[in-house]
Structure 1
Amino acid sequence: MAIMALQAGKHVYVEKPCSHNPHENELLVAAQRKYKKIVQMGNQQRSAQSSALAVKEIKEGIIGNVYKGEAYYSANRGSIGTGKLVDVPKTLNWDLWQGPAPREAFRDNVHPYNWHWFKSWGTGEIHNNGTHEIDICRWALGVDLPNKVTSFGGKYTFDDDWQFPDNQEVTYQYDDKLITWTGHSRGKIQPSQPGRGASIYGSKGVITLSRNNYKLFGLDGELIKTVDEKVKSETTNTVGGGGLDVTHIANFFNAIRLGGETKCSYRRCKYKHHDVPFG
């Protein structure tokens, strides 16, 4: 749909997951270059002032030589059950909604949110929420494509239609750095952590990044400073609204009206969607 919109001469704000595989990423990048329109990815934390400040200070050496990013998502999603064939809602164009995917009959446990857990349309938690935090780690570490990816996990909690791991660990290895992803879709991480976030480790300290703040710690674990966002954002509910949505979309509109680069142009951020499917 993003490519069709570009072909129609429209600027595009494309939500994640914007692809199932790296080839689809390249098709969208090629279309953006051909039609010369603005394409903004819906990864709101790229517009967080606190995260941008942290990345700037990391590059200036505030925590020394950075070597590892830890990304995680912690939730307690319930069972999606076993879907039953039902009539398509009058408000939904089921054929259009399925896009290029193989056609399937409508079931009562797919729309509007649980499509994330079906392989025909979704990409599982790692490409649903992991794509946000893994991108923040890549941004902070200054890396692109990994040399090696290791992934393990499984579906452990419910006997239902969910088709992806509900608990997963992934490691992305680069020349001298690594990123890890811990995804707990069903059963929260213990000891307790915020619902989502990223930690960046350096030779002189550690920085934690969320949609709402940036915290700097010494190697001894003592908090040195906190930088808060001016407006709070939700983190783990399925709506996820908040200040960063407004800021990120405003950046998209300003790029159209005034020119210049978006906070996450598709060309700049495409590697994050190259990395994630490998997990």
Structure 2
Amino acid sequence: MALQADKHVYVEKPCSHNPHENELLVAAQRKYKKIVQMGNQQRSAQSSALAVKEIKEGVIGNVYKGEAYYSANRGSIGTGKLVDVPKTLNWDLWQGPAPREAFRDNIHPYNWHWFKSWGTGEIHNNGTHEIDICRWALGVDLPNKVTSFGGKYTFDDDWQFPDNQEVTYQYDDDKLITWTGHSRGKIQPSQPGRGASIYGSKGVITLSRNNYKLFGLDGELIKTVDEKVKSETTNTVGGGGLNVTHIANFFNAIRFGEKLNAPIEDASISTMMCHLGNIAQDVGETINIDPKTGKIEGNKRAMKNWKRDYEKGWEPKL
């Protein structure tokens, strides 16, 4: 709608609810020729950009693997009760293109992430960021195979996605990316809350929003490079410094022609990878991908997840 109205767009991650909408958004940007940036703000982190530059220059040799992870200890969202819609909320507008449902007390303002009508699970909520960093560092786009293992292991509640998940993305050139999502559990793992590790033939680089670290093959720390603009938080809530820098890049692209750090044509690839991870989880088997289009090959059951039903009058159109 914004592109049709001749507006530039800053769209938060994930940029789509399903692969079909992902394709539509990229096609819309091409059709209306406006600037569209996704809110994967670590693309604007100077330390991350420097790490990727060093990786491409060979500091850790031939890179072959990226590990993305997110670790939290979210609690139960309970079983929703039918209640009156808050006076401050336009429930019809809030639901957007999703088929209409009655308002319950465990959806708004945050837990919609865990309902399939509106959300896309932790792999999109936080995995989009870390998978994107791995893809950036490895210099890859869409994979040719995706496998997912996981499930809902913790609470008996309305949560509709895996709360613990492992996804593997395989590429033609023997590179791979893995996603480990520990959304909730009785005990939180000891590792930091989020990050990415890039493995090469000569060493390893670990990246966070606040720094990157270079290690040799013997595990010895060679150097740490801190981010000049620190994120206020290691999760996705709150207005950290990277958010400001990323939005400034969007504004400068509009005003001065500055190069976008996360143009939608590229950023949408990371979102598509998350969609493919969810689909592989839903069908319970490895799915084969056409890396040029992202389409799933030879699996009609998996392709049924390519798009969703829409509320009448809310169908997205170019």
Relative to the length of structure 2, the TM-score reads 0.78
SS in 1 for 2:149: strand
Distance 2:133 2:309 in 1: 12
Distance 1:161 1:67 in 2: 38
SS in 2 for 1:32: helix
Deviations along 1:159-184, whole A, 9 cap, x unmatched?
A: 11000000000000003100000000
Of 158-167 and 231-240, more deviation after overlay is shown by 231-240
Q: Answer yes or no: is the 8 Å Cα contact 2:114–2:120 preserved in 1.
A: yes
Distance 1:118 1:271 in 2: 15
Q: Answer yes or no: is the 8 Å Cα contact 1:44–1:244 preserved in 2.
A: yes
Q: Answer yes or no: is the 8 Å Cα contact 2:71–2:189 preserved in 1.
A: no
Of 229-238 and 13-22, more deviation after overlay is shown by 229-238
SS in 2 for 1:156: coil
Of 114-123 and 15-24, more deviation after overlay is shown by 15-24
Per the TM alignment, residue 145 of structure 1 is displaced from its structure 2 partner at its CA by: 0.8
Of 101-110 and 229-238, more deviation after overlay is shown by 229-238
Of 197-206 and 88-97, more deviation after overlay is shown by 88-97
Considering only aligned residues, what root-mean-square deviation do their CA atoms show, in Å?
Answer: 6.6
Distance 1:276 1:110, change over 3 A: closer
Deviations along 1:192-234, whole A, 9 cap, x unmatched?
A: 1110000000000000001110110001111111111123214
Structure 1: gaps spanning 5 or more residues: none
Distance 1:70 1:191, change over 3 A: same
Q: Answer yes or no: is the 8 Å Cα contact 1:205–1:218 preserved in 2.
A: yes
Per the TM alignment, residue 78 of structure 1 is displaced from its structure 2 partner at its CA by: 0.7
Q: Answer yes or no: is the 8 Å Cα contact 1:167–1:185 preserved in 2.
A: yes
Report the identity percentage: 93
Per the TM alignment, residue 235 of structure 1 is displaced from its structure 2 partner at its CA by: 4.2
Q: Answer yes or no: is the 8 Å Cα contact 2:145–2:169 preserved in 1.
A: yes
SS in 2 for 1:271: coil
Of 10-19 and 237-246, more deviation after overlay is shown by 237-246
Aligned with 1:57 (options 35, 54, 57): 54
**1:261 paired to 2:295:** yes
Of 90-99 and 230-239, more deviation after overlay is shown by 230-239
Distance 1:118 1:275, change over 3 A: closer
Q: Answer yes or no: is the 8 Å Cα contact 1:168–1:183 preserved in 2.
A: yes
Deviations along 1:61-89, whole A, 9 cap, x unmatched?
A: 00000000000000000110111111111
Distance 1:268 1:46 in 2: 31
Distance 1:219 1:189 in 2: 31
Per the TM alignment, residue 93 of structure 1 is displaced from its structure 2 partner at its CA by: 1.1
SS in 2 for 1:251: helix
Distance 2:297 2:222 in 1: 28
Q: Answer yes or no: is the 8 Å Cα contact 1:251–1:262 preserved in 2.
A: no
Per the TM alignment, residue 241 of structure 1 is displaced from its structure 2 partner at its CA by: 2.6
Aligned with 1:163 (options 160, 164, 167): 160
Q: Answer yes or no: is the 8 Å Cα contact 2:99–2:311 preserved in 1.
A: no
Q: Answer yes or no: is the 8 Å Cα contact 2:73–2:188 preserved in 1.
A: no
Deviations along 1:120-170, whole A, 9 cap, x unmatched?
A: 000000011001100100000011111101101000110110000000000
Distance 1:45 1:188, change over 3 A: farther
Per the TM alignment, residue 20 of structure 1 is displaced from its structure 2 partner at its CA by: 2.3
Q: Answer yes or no: is the 8 Å Cα contact 1:66–1:201 preserved in 2.
A: yes
Q: Answer yes or no: is the 8 Å Cα contact 1:215–1:225 preserved in 2.
A: yes
Q: Answer yes or no: is the 8 Å Cα contact 1:25–1:270 preserved in 2.
A: no
Deviations along 1:228-273, whole A, 9 cap, x unmatched?
A: 112321445452431100000000000010xx99999999999999
Distance 1:63 1:145 in 2: 23
Q: Answer yes or no: is the 8 Å Cα contact 2:69–2:196 preserved in 1.
A: yes
Distance 1:25 1:198, change over 3 A: same
Distance 2:134 2:299 in 1: 17
Per the TM alignment, residue 191 of structure 1 is displaced from its structure 2 partner at its CA by: 5.7
Per the TM alignment, residue 26 of structure 1 is displaced from its structure 2 partner at its CA by: 1.5
Distance 1:269 1:132 in 2: 25
1:168-179 mapped onto 2 (5 Å cutoff): 168-174=165-171, 175-179=173-177
Structure 2: gaps spanning 5 or more residues: 256-293, 314-318
